[in-house]
Amino acid sequence: MEKNTHLLGSIYENAKMGESAINTILPSVENMELRGELYKQREGYRNFALTAAKELAKNQEQPPKTNLLNEAGAYIGIRMNTLRDNSNSHIAEMTINGSTMGIIQITKKIKDFPESDLKSLDLAKNVITFEQHNIDNLKNYL
């Protein structure tokens, strides 16, 4: 069960970080099509976080607590980056980089915890597919 908890916790953290990053970047986005794409991504991250939290609760586990230091660092980094350059291309690049990091993180967790139950492994693979889809859609703004 512990392996399952670690994988679901990583999915939850990944999704919450993605949602938080999009919330931070949205005020800098002027292009309505790009804003719409980011809103869809934010909703996807929310759904993954909710699903992971529900699966953890089934096992009487709590989602991991947010690391405020990491979140603050990400917030400051995003705000500074978008103050310097809030072009569609730069915002797409930043978001693609975030999704790429998410793919790497979840892929490593799948490899670290291959004994997790199939439902959790499927959820992790769905996160990877979602992140790749986000990257593909954002390439249009580069």
pLDDT at 30: 94
pLDDT at 80: 81
Distance of alpha carbon 12 from alpha carbon 25, whole angstroms: 20
The two three-digit tokens of residue 135, written as one number: 């990257």
H or E stretch at 101: helix 88-112
pLDDT at 78: 83
CB 99 within 8 Å of CB 134: yes
pTM for this entry: 0.91
pLDDT at 1: 54
